[in-house]
Structure 1
Amino acid sequence: MHPTGTDPLVPGGGKDVAVGAASGANRGPAVRELAAGEVFSALDTSRRGLSAAQARARLERYGANELPRAGRPAVWRQLGSQFTDLFAVVLIVASGITFLAYALEEPRDAGTFQLAVAILGVVVLNAAIGFAQEYSAERTAQALEAMVPHTCRVLRGGERMEVPARELVPGDVVVLEAGDAVSADCRVVEAHELAVNNAPLTGESNAVGRTADPVVAGPPLEARNCVFMGTDVVSGSGRAVVFATGAPTEFGRIYRLAAAAPRQKTPLQLQVASMARRVAGAALAIGALMFAVRLPTGESPVTVFVFALGVMVALVPEGLPATLSVSLAIGVRRMARRHALIKQLLAVEALGSTTVVCTDKTGTLTQAEMTVTQVWAGGATHPVTGVGYAPSGEVADAAPVRELMRVAGLCCNARLIPPAGPGGREHWRVLGDTTEGALLVVAAKAALDLRAEEAAAPRVTEFPFDSDRKLMTTVHKSGAGYQACVKGAPVELLARCSDVERAGQRGPLTGEDRAVVVAASDALAAQGLRVLAVARRELDGPRPAQDEAESALTLLGLVGMLDPPRPEVNDAVAACRRAGIRIVMVTGDHPLTGEAVARRVGIVRRPDPVVVTGARLDAMDDEALDTLLAEPSELLLCRVSPEHKMRVVTALQRRGEVVAVTGDGANDAPALKHADIGVAMGASGTDVARESASMVLLDDSFASIAMAVRLGRSVYQNIRKFLVYVFSSNIGELGPILAATFAGFPLVPISAVQILAIDLGSDVMPALALGAERPEPDVMDRPPRSRRERLFSSAVVGRILFLGGIQALGVCAVFFWHIHSSGIPFNDFTEDSPVYREAVTLAQGGIVLSQFFVSLAVRTDRQSILRVGLLSNPALLAAGGFGVALMVAISYLPPLQAVFNTAPLDAGDWAVLAALGTLPLLADEARKGWLRRRADRRKGAPL
């Protein structure tokens, strides 16, 4: 890589040229001080760009164009951070105090030592799980990031091609267009209304014009003839020569300063941390209370402390941090497999509560393979055959429209890429705008050789398309004069036309002619076609003003093209409707085109949708817009600009909606950032859009949004499922201890060591399996979750108390039934009493078996477990089976009996425990049935 502060490229000829910040090491003028023509020789390149061999050599010399990865903490630091979790700290302190108690007590009790070791073992095991999951999550994130390629367009040997951004080298000639992210520091050598947004470097988001003219020496970021890595092209087009890549860029300098900044936690992480503090505080408070209650009874302080410690351990969900990590990691992976790349954990939360989706039409609802199906000129329509980007098909009676096709083809920046042959790409594709690609294809179908036409009429200047004019104009040398080729929206272009061409003859465009053209445009749009108008004008010079080039035009005709809907979108739209999610189409197309596509995919089903144009939005104040959005109508926004899109998103959020917005262009970036969920297109979207979004659709399909919402809802549900599971089992552990205290029983029904065995053997693994639970069948049949709803909602707390209370009652019943049936007074029981050992074994076994059935119960919120299938989560069954097997071993193996103070149970005991264990499952099935019946009654109620 280049040494920092020195020239990244020493050009041939022996002359050093400064290309970075001013430095004493630089011995020549900086490239920004040179004329555009001198830049090529200074950087040892040419207008045709580098050859393939030169590019390879420079890539080896200067290295990949990428920033150094942020240094990952050492393994020992990553592992050590697992011990700083609040739950871990509480348990470490408890273990230390227990070790101290063991050292001070006389005589020393081996059980106290075993408890201290067991608590410490829990901490170590939990840290190992958390470390493994964190490491796995990092690997997953790196793999997912690689799924979204960052590319740029360059000239190599005179040919425009798309290369990975990491392969850019000094001397490359980069082609810049609106929406592109700048991938290296470059000197502009050609600019056509070029403007960039330098906000990532300067913090100022205003578009700044760029020029190819030399500038005086000064700070690099003030050089108006340079563009820098990390910025984006707002408008216009141009070409620039790379002079710095990777770390020596201006962005690389800032990146190094920011790399060490701590990562901010997401709201979900903060919410879980707050929950951990409260749970830990409650555990300490209740443990202290139990210590205070038991101490006056005359027991030794160490014994009372061990008892209170058992209470505290019973309340601390040791495996919660690891389980949370697993659930989120699994959700992100599942979404990635369904073509939705989640860039922020916040997106997982918001997905579950999305109420409105503002979706683009092209590429999201449709296939983004524009195909010209009709050409209109001189009052006649010429059908076009063939589908897609392969130039196979024909234009009916092509001769009268060949000039229209020539002008449209010249006014394009896109390029057709043929199939790569055996083992490569199988289909034709377009490099650039898909609409322009369709024009290139139809020109080929009309038997036009556009390469020959471009050679005969070389382009001399360009006025790029922008969303205000809705036009694009190129100026070409044509014989002894010059010609402007213009294409754009029919309404805007028609207003600039003064003549019309029929059968090769130009004549004035009358009012009657205008009405005919408008009717033809509307007829094409009503068929769901995107319509472009094409015109030309003869000019006197190569550098006309934009107004001159785009006025007094001669209309050549109209082109109608179709972007067919994606076949999977209809089901996805229906799923969103069932989920209570409103879909608003936001498109720049003609209202008739937008409505036609919306009807095809199911967004519009009524005969009278509300269709609002950008002009109507401009006439509305905020109150009127709020009234419009409050109507429960099918809404289509057509002919809208990025400013309109942003305003609609803001108005929806003002109403309390959780808004997801799709976008693919640089002009969509403000709306993507402002939305609750910004969804960028991974295949066709610009780098700027992808950087602004919190989710990237790798296949650009609306169906992936619906699938991501479904998976996002399931992730949040799974987090709640294992919260219900873990905390209800904690109540099952705590209940018998509290009952024994207030009943005056001198010993604990379940010891701290037994609680730790339950938490490790019967809590952590099933909780992890619940984090991998598949979405419930009816997850998309429920309304969106309120954005104000918390993890511990009243419903969650109620279910914890419901299931935990049943577990606690069952365990208390079996424990005290066994104690009372012996006929031995409470005060005569000792820890070595066979009856007591059998009773605590029954209590531990009751908790373990109850947990197994509770894990089955919490798999669904409303659906019967029989509906989803008892065997549909084999990992959960295996985890539950492991917990039961461990309990059997603790009951029958002498070494474990000595550790846990247990005794063997007979078949009758196990039968009683199994019956009690099923009670939570049966009770919860009854609760779910009642909820389903209530929901059915509400659906059947008259409106």
Structure 2
Amino acid sequence: MQPKHSELWHHLTEEDVFEALNSHQHQGLDASSITERQRLFGANIISSRAATPAWKRLLLQFHNPLIYILLIATLVTFFLQEYVDAGVILAVVLINALIGFIQESKAEAAINSLKNLLSAQARVIRDGQVQTISASELVPGDLLILASGDKVSADIRLYECKDLQIDESALTGESVASQKTLRRLDKDTLLADRQNMAFAGTLVTYGTGKGVVIATGDHTETGKIAHMIAEATQIDTPLTRKIHAFSRLLLWVILGLALATFAIGLLYGMAATETFMAAVALAVAAIPEGLPAVVTITLAIGVRRMAKRNAIIRTLSAVETLGSTTVICSDKTGTLTENQMTVQAIFAAGHRYQISGSGYQPEGEITPASGSPELGDNLALQHCLRAGLISNDSLLKFKSERWQVEGDPTEGALITAALKSGLESADCHQDYPRLDSIPFESDRQYMATLHATPQGEKLLYLKGSVEQVLKRCKEQMTSQGQTENLNSSAINAQVETLAAQGLRVLAFACQKLPSEVNNLDAFQTHEAEEQLCFIGLQAMIDPPRAEAIRAVATCQSAGINIKMITGDHALTAGAIAKQIGILSAEESLDQGKTQKVLTGRDLAEMSDHELLDCVEQVSVYARVAPEQKLKLVTALQAHSQVVAMTGDGVNDAPALKQADIGIAMGLSGTEVAKEASDMVLTDDNFSSIEAAVEEGRTVFDNLIKFISWILPTNLGQGLVIMLAILLGVTLPVLPVQALWLNMTTAVFLGLMLAFEPKEPGIMTRAPREPNSPILSVEMIGRIVSVSSLLLLGAFGLFQWSQSHGASLEESRTLAVTLFVIVQSFFLLNCRSLSRSLFKTEMLSNLWIWGGIAAMLLAQLLFIYLPIMNQLFHSAPLSFNYWLVMLAYGAAVLLLVELEKALWRRHKIKQA
């Protein structure tokens, strides 16, 4: 339960707010009211979601059709007293489940971490007395006191403020601290523009204020986001969907083959027990026991590779999902941009200057435009830079190996610009000591400071909004330091040009005052009568990261659509999008519902159907509320897009949770965003997403290579057993031998494909179609052809050796070893599914050769070690058999390469 008017507090007058809350502006609440409200509204905490029990999470690891097959095989082989087979299969299942359980045991703590956003202590006025209480005890109607450095503990409506600025970037995405005011706002004012409100979890960066609590706990804006996180649907990844579909298909195929084998055996008059054993042998042979383990291990290898490239994976499947991504929805502030305001242009004495460098690092140059005087020859420019430096209440410090601002980011940008010009902060403050100041207030829209000069004069500097500064100016300063009549039209034209580029523009003015003036009392009293001298404009923006521009271009060349979703203003968002390359220069902001930049207000006016129609065409969304980010991600997913969402703030968390893959920022990101994500970038660099996409595509490629390699073995073994049943002859491969084949070759051979490096051109091809099957027609054809070759070789060699007097054990050993030899040669074919083996760097994956060597060693033990002969019913082979098998394996390799060449020619003709 919470008070009424929950969506209208910003629209009510202060009197109506206090009346609705039954609170007093000076006395606050009394003890009896507090007790009653704590009973009604509960503690000021965000509710935790019930965690999934560990036992349930463990059981869910077995919820997979392929695992069902393995468990059934385990039971059947156990009851048939094939204990070795049953034990090995069960071990594979348990290891696979354990790996998945450990990965997912990192409980989703997104909502719990939201609790940390609420300050532990709060200063309130109760019974007319200032008290410090636990923030959890706050109730609606409490009077909350704010000061610089405080974390806001509940949602409040302000009724007093002095120079109050609050960093709301984590909640709204706005890169600049919000200037607070007390004026009543329109009903439809967006969350980011509610300047008479303060919200739980945000940080006071400057000034002081008081507000009456209007919402606590789950009913705060932060609490609503927690609810959205809890409600967000957990999306199956493309790999999960494909593996599940593939496993279901495999389940029915294997069961069908086993039943067919059993039925055929009975029709041929074979004993039921013997026929049933043959069906079990076929099932064990056809089941790719190593597939779940190798999939998990391959993904884990991808996780390790990603960690080396500044991306920490929180869920294994996230590695592959990045490779399937078709759309990246990126936050702007701190993700595509530096999250550091930077002055990029200055206009002084009628001349324009560009400033290089980005962020708060004081490295860069001030370059005059064509025909403009140099820095040292423009006194107005020097005044403008000095004003930005000393008419300033913030500090620029080098801490933790980077430059940081203590105070307002805008003032930090002004300090950096001055330092780039060669001014020294300490010298300027010493030469121009401050005598008095008028702090910036949102209603006033300017800051004024009074300084003594080295010449013994007094100098007033004024900085603020263009409108407020210009109306106090009569003259403007020339480059020689003289004065001339103010040219407002030329200045406003520059302002419009700079604003159109998304730059935030501040104006500067000065006035020489008599030496006896020591304060600004007269200026405050008669400020409208003052006649100041305009000295220049400074225009700033949170600039894009240089590496982000390159990364966006690379992702676009890979067929991935980049969308910017930000809480910042439309003009700023559009300007940054053009600089980064998300928008082209000719794309404008005034094309109705088909425009390339939409605001949260536009989205609020759209129906769900209209949003679905335009969501794929629009590239930039500005002033977007948290629930709208979630809505956009869901709309894209409705178009079967695989969506990656980046973000760093609390406001991003629900969308991060809903997206196919959520990517949080490790340095600037909130704990909420990190816990709601699948992947965390340790360097907050969008270019790391490019590396992640590349790794994701490589992982998927390698998984397909493994599946394309392993299935012919299983299908070939199944076909050998079926043919033996059809012909009524002895089984060439026993169940225990099939299990040896499946497990050893999967580990020693197939797993080595997980270490294959990326394919050439991997970032120039289009993303995979989300609904495309896991195996293409080309791969299915190859699996059938290689399976047929294995059937021909193994069955033929078995029958040939039998006809030449070999023992049954020798013949079966020969058939099993042929599988090993052909799989080893075929492994080389599978290093690339389309390129020629002979154009592949042979030593680029040494694991392949190590795996082949290890497999041959294991097979030699299988053949020649007496204890292995007893366990697996094998027998030693003569040297001549090896020559035949190696020749057959080489022939298979050449035939597969020929088939790949025919497919390449076919694709060229189609193109």
Interval of TM-score (by shorter of Structure 1 and Structure 2): 0.5 to 0.7
- 1:377-388 mapped onto 2 (5 Å cutoff): 377-381=348-352
- Pair 1:285-2:256 in alignment: yes
How far residue 820 of structure 1 moved from its aligned partner, in angstroms, is: 3.7
- Pair 1:887-2:873 in alignment: no
Match of 2:94 in 1: 127
- Pair 1:847-2:819 in alignment: yes
How far residue 307 of structure 1 moved from its aligned partner, in angstroms, is: 1.2
736, 739, 742: which one pairs with 2:726? 742
Distance 1:174 1:841, change over 3 A: farther
Contact 1:323 1:768 in 2 (8 A): yes
Q: Which has the larger displacement, 262-271 or 289-298?
A: 262-271
Q: Which has the larger displacement, 380-389 or 87-96?
A: 380-389
SS of the equivalent of 1:304 reads helix
Contact 2:434 2:449 in 1 (8 A): no
SS of the equivalent of 1:418 reads strand
SS of the equivalent of 1:613 reads coil
Partner amino acid, structure 1, of 2:299: L
Match of 2:874 in 1: 902
How far residue 663 of structure 1 moved from its aligned partner, in angstroms, is: 5.7
Match of 2:131 in 1: none
Contact 2:326 2:560 in 1 (8 A): yes
Which residues of structure 2 form unaligned runs of 5+?
1-20, 30-44, 123-134, 139-143, 173-177, 184-195, 367-374, 452-459, 512-519, 597-605
RMSD between aligned residues = 6.3
- 1:215-254 mapped onto 2 (5 Å cutoff): 228=200
Contact 1:384 1:396 in 2 (8 A): no
Measure, in 2, the Cα distance between the counterparts of 1:641 and 1:118: 61
Distance 1:255 1:361, change over 3 A: closer
- 1:413-452 mapped onto 2 (5 Å cutoff): 415-419=395-399, 425-430=400-405, 436-443=411-418, 446=423
- Equivalent residue pairs, number: 786
Contact 2:225 2:651 in 1 (8 A): no
Measure, in 1, the Cα distance between the counterparts of 2:664 and 2:59: 37
Partner amino acid, structure 2, of 1:304: T
- Pair 1:713-2:694 in alignment: no
Contact 1:411 1:473 in 2 (8 A): no
Greater length-normalized contact order (CA 8 Å, ≥ 6 residues apart) = 2
854, 857, 860: which one pairs with 2:832? 860
Distance 1:407 1:79, change over 3 A: same
- 1:53-202 mapped onto 2 (5 Å cutoff): 86-101=65-80, 113=81, 115-132=82-99, 134-135=101-102
Distance 1:574 1:928, change over 3 A: farther
Match of 2:308 in 1: 337
Distance 1:494 1:630, change over 3 A: farther
- Pair 1:311-2:282 in alignment: yes
Partner amino acid, structure 1, of 2:586: V
- Pair 1:770-2:753 in alignment: yes
Deviation digits for residues 264-306 of structure 1 (CA, Å, limit 9, x no counterpart) = 7545434423433332333233212211211344443322222
How far residue 785 of structure 1 moved from its aligned partner, in angstroms, is: 1.0
Measure, in 1, the Cα distance between the counterparts of 2:795 and 2:48: 60
SS of the equivalent of 1:329 reads helix
Contact 2:154 2:200 in 1 (8 A): yes
- 1:779-790 mapped onto 2 (5 Å cutoff): 779-790=762-773
Match of 1:486 in 2: 464
Contact 1:119 1:756 in 2 (8 A): no
Distance 1:37 1:914, change over 3 A: farther
Measure, in 1, the Cα distance between the counterparts of 2:654 and 2:230: 25
Measure, in 2, the Cα distance between the counterparts of 1:672 and 1:541: 54
Contact 2:206 2:408 in 1 (8 A): no
How far residue 931 of structure 1 moved from its aligned partner, in angstroms, is: 4.0
Partner amino acid, structure 1, of 2:817: G
Distance 1:677 1:315, change over 3 A: same
- Pair 1:532-2:505 in alignment: yes
Match of 1:163 in 2: none
Measure, in 2, the Cα distance between the counterparts of 1:313 and 1:265: 29
Measure, in 1, the Cα distance between the counterparts of 2:504 and 2:552: 26
Measure, in 2, the Cα distance between the counterparts of 1:294 and 1:386: 80
Measure, in 2, the Cα distance between the counterparts of 1:627 and 1:263: 24
- Pair 1:725-2:705 in alignment: no
How far residue 356 of structure 1 moved from its aligned partner, in angstroms, is: 5.3
Measure, in 2, the Cα distance between the counterparts of 1:143 and 1:334: 26
Contact 2:170 2:650 in 1 (8 A): no
Measure, in 1, the Cα distance between the counterparts of 2:523 and 2:299: 59
How far residue 134 of structure 1 moved from its aligned partner, in angstroms, is: 4.2
Measure, in 1, the Cα distance between the counterparts of 2:731 and 2:441: 88
Measure, in 2, the Cα distance between the counterparts of 1:911 and 1:36: 99
Match of 2:265 in 1: 294
Measure, in 1, the Cα distance between the counterparts of 2:203 and 2:268: 78
Match of 1:913 in 2: 885
SS of the equivalent of 2:586 reads strand
Partner amino acid, structure 1, of 2:537: L
Deviation digits for residues 72-96 of structure 1 (CA, Å, limit 9, x no counterpart) = 966x988777667554554444444
Partner amino acid, structure 2, of 1:733: Q
Identity rate, percent: 30
Q: Which has the larger displacement, 611-620 or 115-124?
A: 611-620
Match of 1:612 in 2: 587
Partner amino acid, structure 2, of 1:400: A
How far residue 936 of structure 1 moved from its aligned partner, in angstroms, is: 5.2
Contact 1:210 1:226 in 2 (8 A): no
- Pair 1:760-2:743 in alignment: yes
How far residue 499 of structure 1 moved from its aligned partner, in angstroms, is: 5.2
794, 804, 810: which one pairs with 1:838? 810
727, 751, 759: which one pairs with 2:734? 751
Contact 2:328 2:561 in 1 (8 A): yes
Contact 1:818 1:839 in 2 (8 A): yes
Distance 1:868 1:155, change over 3 A: farther
How far residue 318 of structure 1 moved from its aligned partner, in angstroms, is: 1.6
Match of 2:129 in 1: none
Contact 1:411 1:474 in 2 (8 A): no
Q: Which has the larger displacement, 256-265 or 867-876?
A: 256-265
Partner amino acid, structure 2, of 1:805: S
Measure, in 2, the Cα distance between the counterparts of 1:570 and 1:197: 22
- Pair 1:321-2:285 in alignment: no
Partner amino acid, structure 2, of 1:810: G
How far residue 735 of structure 1 moved from its aligned partner, in angstroms, is: 1.8
Q: Which has the larger displacement, 340-349 or 783-792?
A: 340-349
- 1:502-517 mapped onto 2 (5 Å cutoff): 502-503=476-477, 513-515=488-490, 517=492
How far residue 905 of structure 1 moved from its aligned partner, in angstroms, is: 1.1
Contact 1:672 1:678 in 2 (8 A): yes
Partner amino acid, structure 1, of 2:249: R
Measure, in 1, the Cα distance between the counterparts of 2:171 and 2:324: 31
Partner amino acid, structure 2, of 1:534: A
Contact 2:829 2:896 in 1 (8 A): yes
- Pair 1:813-2:789 in alignment: no
Match of 1:272 in 2: 243
Contact 1:402 1:446 in 2 (8 A): no
Measure, in 2, the Cα distance between the counterparts of 1:880 and 1:854: 11
Measure, in 2, the Cα distance between the counterparts of 1:649 and 1:497: 46
How far residue 309 of structure 1 moved from its aligned partner, in angstroms, is: 0.5
Deviation digits for residues 412-458 of structure 1 (CA, Å, limit 9, x no counterpart) = 89752324xxxxx3342346776553212234555566899899326
Partner amino acid, structure 2, of 1:789: S
SS of the equivalent of 1:611 reads coil
